[in-house]
Structure 1
C-alpha cells in the first residue's frame, strides 16, 4: 500500500513539474527574475518572448533553450554587467537591449540566427562574442551609442537594413554582406572608422558619413541613392558600380577627398552632386556617365570637369568653381538646351562656389539664366519703373 502511495506521489510530482515546464515554455513572455532561474530553463524552444527583469544585478547566463520564437528583451536593466548563453542558437524576433548601462560582457557562443538586432545605449559594451561562425542571418540591425570597437561576429550575407551610429569607439566594420534590400546607413561613429564590404554587390540605398575609409570593390548596382557626407577619406572608388537606378549620387563636404573614381557608372536615375569637397582638384572620375535623371550640381575648388560620355541631363546643370574652369565650360556650353535640358550655369572664379545655391561673384564661363551684373540691374530698374507707372495709374482711377 505504501509503495503504491509513493508511486502515486511521484507521478503527481512529475506531472506538476511537466505542467510547470509546459507553462514556462509556452507563455507569451517569460520573465527571468534571477540568475538562478536563467541557468535552469527546462525548454528546448520558448514559444513566446524572454525578458530580463529590470532589478536583476550582476550576470545572467541563459542555459537550456536553443530557440526563442519571440523576442529577447533586455531594457533598463541598469545593474546587469554580463549576459551569456552557450545554448541559444535562434532568436526569431528582436534581440533588444536598451539602456543597459553597465553591460560589458556579451557572449552567445551558439547564436546564428536573429530576426533583428536593436541595441541602443550600451555605453560599457566594448566587445561581442558570437562563436566561430558568428551571427549569419539577421533581417535588420540597429546599433547605436555603444562602446564597441568592432562588429566582428556579425557575418550576415543579406540584410534588409543596417543603421550603425553614435558608436564613438568604433574603428572597424567589415563583413561578408552581399546585398541590402533597404538601407545601409552608417554615421557619427569613431573618427577613424574603416568600412570594408568586399562582397557587397547590390544595395537599395547607401548613406555613409564620418568615416575615414570606405571600400566597396564589388558594388555593381544601387537601386536608389548612394550618398557620402562629411567623411575624412582621401580617396573613394567603386570600380564596378554601373548605375544608381532611381536615386542620386552625392558627395558633399568630404573635405579631405582628393580622388573620386566611378569608372563604370553609366546612369543615375536622380541627380549627381559633388560639392564642397575642397581638396578635390579634378572631377574626371566618371568617364562613362551618360545619363543623369535629375540635376547636376558640381561645386568646389576644382580646375577641371570632364564628363566625356554625358549625353542626357534631365534637370538643371550647375557647375561652379573657385578656380578657372573656362575650358570645361566651353565644352558644356555646346550642350545647353540639347543634352542638358534644364537651367544651365557654368562659372569660373566664383569665391562662393562652395556655398549651396550661391551663384554670385566670378566670371560666367557659360550661360547663367536669370541674368547677372549690369544686365540684371537694368531689368530690375525697368521693372521698378513699370511698377511705379502702374501704381500711379491705379491711384488715379481711385481718385476719379
Structure 2
C-alpha cells in the first residue's frame, strides 16, 4: 500500500513540475492550440508572442495574471481577439499592425504597465468593462475606433491618442496626474477631451482638438504646444507655472486665450498665426519668461502688464495698423535681457523671431516643426530645447 502512495505522490510531483514548466515559459503562438496548452495557468510567467500567424480568431482562456507581456504583430488574418479572464499584466500589452482585427475583448482587465494599440484600420471600439485603473503608458495610434470606454486610472505617465480619424472623444475624468507626455493629435475633427480632474502634467501637445476640459490643471512641468486646433477659446484658469516653452500656433478659430494665474514661463512664449486672436490679454499676472517673447499675427493689442523679466529677446510683429509698440518699448529698459528686439505694426508678412537657419539661430521654429514633422515623438525634442537655445542665441 505504501508503495502505491509513493508512486501516486511521485506522479503528482511530476505533473506539478510539468504544469509549472508550462506556466513559466516564452510562448510562441501559431494557433489556438498553442494558447489552449496554457489554459490551466491562472498565473503565467513569460512573454506570449503572436507574430504573423494565419489565425483568424484567438482566445486567451484561463490566464488571469500575466507576469510578463503579450505581443501580437502582423497577423493579417486575425479578426477576433479575446482575453476573457485576464485581470493583470505586469509589463506590456502590445497590438501592432493586425490589419483585419475588428474586435478585441478585455472584459476583466484592470491593470497593465504599458498598453499599446498601433495601426489597426479595422478596429471599431476599445472598452474596459472592469475599469482599467492601474496603467503607466497608454497609446492608441492609427486606428478606426470610434470610442474608448473604461479608463479609470488616477495617474499615468504617458497618454497618447493620435491619428484615429473616427474617434470623437476620450473621457478620463478620474485622472489627476499625467507624469509624462499628454499627446492628443489628428483624431476626428472636433475631437473632445475630458481631463477635468487633472492637476499636473509634464508636457502637452494638442493638435486638431475641438473641445477640452482641463479645469483643474495648475502645474505643467515641461512644454506646451497648441497647434492647428479648432476650438474658439482656450483657458487654463488655475495654471500657475509652465516650466518649459509655450507654443500657440495656427489655431484658425482661436479668438480668446486665457491664462489668468500664470506667473512664470520657463521657456519661450511663441504665439504665431492665430488669425482670429485680435486681442492678446491672456497673461495678466505673467512676470517671468526665461526664453524669448515671440508674438506674430494680426492682433491689435498685446497686454503684458506684470511682465518684468524676459531672459531672451523680443519679437512682436503684426499686420494690424491699430497696434502700437509703445508698451513693448517700455520693456527694453531692463526687462528684455537678450540682444534681439523687434517690434513692428502694419507688416504685410509678420515673421517669427525664431531663427530659421539665418546664421547661428535655430534651424526651424517650434511651431513650424510641429506642423510638418511626421513623428510626434520628435516634437518634444524640439520644444524641450527651445528655451535653452534661445538663451544662447540671444
Q: TM-score range by the shorter chain?
A: 0.7 to 0.9
Residue 59 of structure 1: CA displacement? 2.0
**Residue matched to 1:58:** 56
Q: Distance in 2 between matches of 1:74 and 1:52?
A: 5
Match of 1:68 among 61, 66, 76: 66
Match of 1:248 among 238, 245, 263: 245
Residue 295 of structure 1: CA displacement? 0.5
Which structure is larger by alpha-carbon Rg, 1 or 2? 1
**Residue matched to 2:289:** 292
**Residue matched to 2:98:** 100
Tell me if the contact between 1:352 and 1:358 (Cα under 8 Å) persists in the aligned partners.
no
Q: Distance in 2 between matches of 1:154 and 1:167?
A: 17
Whether 1:339 aligns to 2:335 is yes
Q: Distance in 2 between matches of 1:206 and 1:81?
A: 34
Q: Distance in 2 between matches of 1:17 and 1:55?
A: 30
Q: When the two structures are aligned, how many residues end up with a matched partner?
A: 352
Residue 42 of structure 1: CA displacement? 1.1
Match of 1:35 among 28, 32, 42: 32
Residue 15 of structure 1: CA displacement? 5.3
Match of 1:213 among 202, 211, 219: 211
Secondary structure of the 1:212 match is strand
Residue 326 of structure 1: CA displacement? 4.0
Write out per-residue CA displacement over residues 319-341 of structure 1, whole angstroms, 9 at most, x where no aligned residue. Answer: 111113544x2122122131122
RMSD: 2.3
Residue 30 of structure 1: CA displacement? 2.0
Q: Distance in 2 between matches of 1:315 and 1:228?
A: 22
Higher RCO, 1 vs 2 (CA within 8 Å, ≥6 residues apart): 2
Residue 357 of structure 1: CA displacement? 4.0
Secondary structure of the 1:164 match is strand
Residue 136 of structure 1: CA displacement? 1.1
Tell me if the contact between 1:321 and 1:349 (Cα under 8 Å) persists in the aligned partners.
yes
Residue 197 of structure 1: CA displacement? 0.7
Tell me if the contact between 1:243 and 1:265 (Cα under 8 Å) persists in the aligned partners.
yes
Q: Distance in 2 between matches of 1:106 and 1:129?
A: 8
TM-score, with length taken from structure 1: 0.82
Tell me if the contact between 1:215 and 1:236 (Cα under 8 Å) persists in the aligned partners.
no
Write out per-residue CA displacement over residues 188-211 of structure 1, whole angstroms, 9 at most, x where no aligned residue. Answer: 222221112101111111111121
Q: Distance in 1 between matches of 2:121 and 2:311?
A: 48
Q: Distance in 2 between matches of 1:186 and 1:111?
A: 24
Residue 129 of structure 1: CA displacement? 2.3
Q: Distance in 2 between matches of 1:309 and 1:184?
A: 30
Structure 1: state its 5+ residue gaps. Answer: 360-400
Residue 9 of structure 1: CA displacement? 8.5
Match of 1:163 among 160, 163, 181: 160
- Cα 1:102–1:9 change in 2 (3 A) is farther
**Residue matched to 2:269:** 272
Tell me if the contact between 1:305 and 1:325 (Cα under 8 Å) persists in the aligned partners.
no
Tell me if the contact between 2:129 and 2:149 (Cα under 8 Å) persists in the aligned partners.
no
Match of 1:233 among 219, 224, 231: 231
Secondary structure of the 1:49 match is strand
* Greater mean deviation of Cα atoms: 51-60 or 336-345: 51-60
**Residue matched to 1:330:** 326
Residue 24 of structure 1: CA displacement? 1.2
Secondary structure of the 1:26 match is coil
**Residue matched to 1:316:** 313
- Cα 1:23–1:306 change in 2 (3 A) is same
**Residue matched to 1:393:** none
* Greater mean deviation of Cα atoms: 55-64 or 30-39: 30-39
Tell me if the contact between 1:24 and 1:30 (Cα under 8 Å) persists in the aligned partners.
no
Structure 2: state its 5+ residue gaps. Answer: 356-394
**Residue matched to 2:146:** 149
Write out per-residue CA displacement over residues 358-390 of structure 1, whole angstroms, 9 at most, x where no aligned residue. Answer: 99xxxxxxxxxxxxxxxxxxxxxxxxxxxxxxx
